[in-house]
Amino acid sequence: MRSILQRLVPSTLLARVALLVVLGMGVAQLLTYMAIRHEREQALMRLMISGVERDIASSVALIDRLPANERQDWFPKLERPNYSFSLEGAVSNAAPTDPALARFAQVVADALQPFPVLAMGQLGDRPDAVRIQLRLSDGAPLYIVARRVPMPVSGWVTWLLLGQLLVLAGLAWLAVRLVTRPLERLATAADQLGPDLQPTVVAEAGPAEVVRAARAFNAMQRRMAGYLNERMQILAAISHDLQTPITRMRLRVDLMDDMPDADKFRQDLEAMRSLVQEGLNYAKTLQGSDEKVRRLDMDALLRSIVNDYADTGSPVTMDGAAGQPIRTRPNALRRILGNLIDNALKYGQRADVHLRLQAGHLCIDVCDAGPGIPEEQLAAVLQPFYRVEASRNRDTGGSGLGLAIAHQLSLSLGGTLSLHNRPEGGLRASLQLPATR
């Protein structure tokens, strides 16, 4: 039952609040309508009963004074919508059990005094009518069929209430929309806040509370962007400044060929230089890119990347096709694919690239035949400077920035990068990008 209710309840705040307000007003309108209708029926019933008392009493008195041979001719003239007369008949049913009809019958019987009421019973085919037998002054019987005539409510009253409900529902929707639209703008701005944390300014307009929230959100974005830029500038400055002493140390090692373990020093310096260079690249990635979005033939781009690897003798294959161009930043995408293919070649000795278009997304899978990654570390390896190998040997463990750079660039393109172990062995890196044409 709870799951059914969850499926029926709208998912958006606008729809939920509007639904609650409209339902509340609808229930209030319905209760008001029922109260007015009940009060109107009671008032009209009292008016009808008082009218019946006078009319039926005067009609019976007139019939009693008429000659017996003329009474039948007067019955059509004295008949009303809620009672009629006859000289023949029978009361074969029991007295009415419905409280309202019993009260009505008793009022009619009391109004007929001083004529004695001989019998009174509910009509079998008319649950809203009773048959009353009384005796006139000359001893002749008189039968009266009295009916409770419903007091109708004018149709325009119902339509008026429905119109009021529609107007109130429309105004409630507008009011809720006015409240929730700023939240929608804030959510959109938060979604557009990419990994480079470049702020998307939210319009500071509307009610005072909305202006205050928008101003606070914009200030928060500026502070976050400032903190990130400061950190990245520090990382870039350190990485840049380290290149000079590393180069001097390399030159000194080259001038001292007779120094013991000179080759090991060169290897360490080369590892330091590579790490510094990757740190600079990562800092540039987080600081964003000024590359323009272009319409790109994905099949041709991926084929050219695979051919470049094939020309160097690397075992890289490709299958599948997008079948349509998309809008993206080609250099960023080329760098993502290069990092993924390099990672597959390094740890899996080969790379198989699969391209397909699925549910409005461009899906690119880069698969290898390596040892894979433990399941609990699949998300961690996308973080900077994280390496699966505990040995921290750069020849086998890497710098821990290749996948992090690919992950950050995929986020900047509005896509996602995820890693999965293949059942047949190896790792599958799945890149999903919006297929915007």
**What tens digit of pLDDT does each residue of 266-312 get?**
777 777 777 776 666 666 665 555 678 888 888 888 899 989 888 88
| pLDDT > 90? residue 367 | yes
**For range 205-223, the mean pLDDT:** 79
Q: Is residue 291 within 8 Å of residue 254, measured between CB atoms? A: no
How would you label 268-304 residue by residue, b for 16+ Cβ within 10 Å and e otherwise? Answer: ebeebbebbebbbbbbebbbbeeeeeeebebbebbee
Residues 332-347 pLDDT 10s = 888 889 889 988 898 8
Domains of the chain are 13-147 (3.30.450), 193-288 (1.10.287), 294-434 (3.30.565.10)
For the range 307-314, what are the long-range contacts, defined as Cβ-Cβ under 8 Å and sequence gap of 24 or more? Answer: 309/341, 309/345, 309/351, 314/345, 314/351
| pLDDT > 70? residue 6 | no
Residues 124-167 pLDDT 10s = 767 778 888 888 888 888 888 888 766 665 667 777 778 887 88
**For range 395-416, the mean pLDDT:** 74
Residues 8-24 pLDDT 10s = 666 676 677 777 777 78
Give percent above pLDDT 70 in the chain: 80
Residue 250, phi then psi, degrees to nearest 5: -65, -40
- The pTM for the full model equals 0.48
Structure tokens at 429: 């890196």
User: Poorest-confidence range of 29-38, 42-51, 218-227, 407-416?
Assistant: 42-51
Who contacts 154 (Cβ-Cβ below 8 Å, separation ≥6)? none
The residue among 167, 173, 213 whose CA lies nearest residue 189 is: 213
pLDDT value for 363: 92
Read off the amino acid at residue 161. Answer: L
Top pLDDT among 275 and 220 is at 220
390 band by pLDDT with thresholds 50, 70 and 90: very low
**For range 105-134, the mean pLDDT:** 82
Rg (alpha carbons) of the chain, rounded to whole number = 45
| pLDDT > 90? residue 33 | no
Q: Is residue 25 within 8 Å of residue 17, measured between CB atoms? A: no
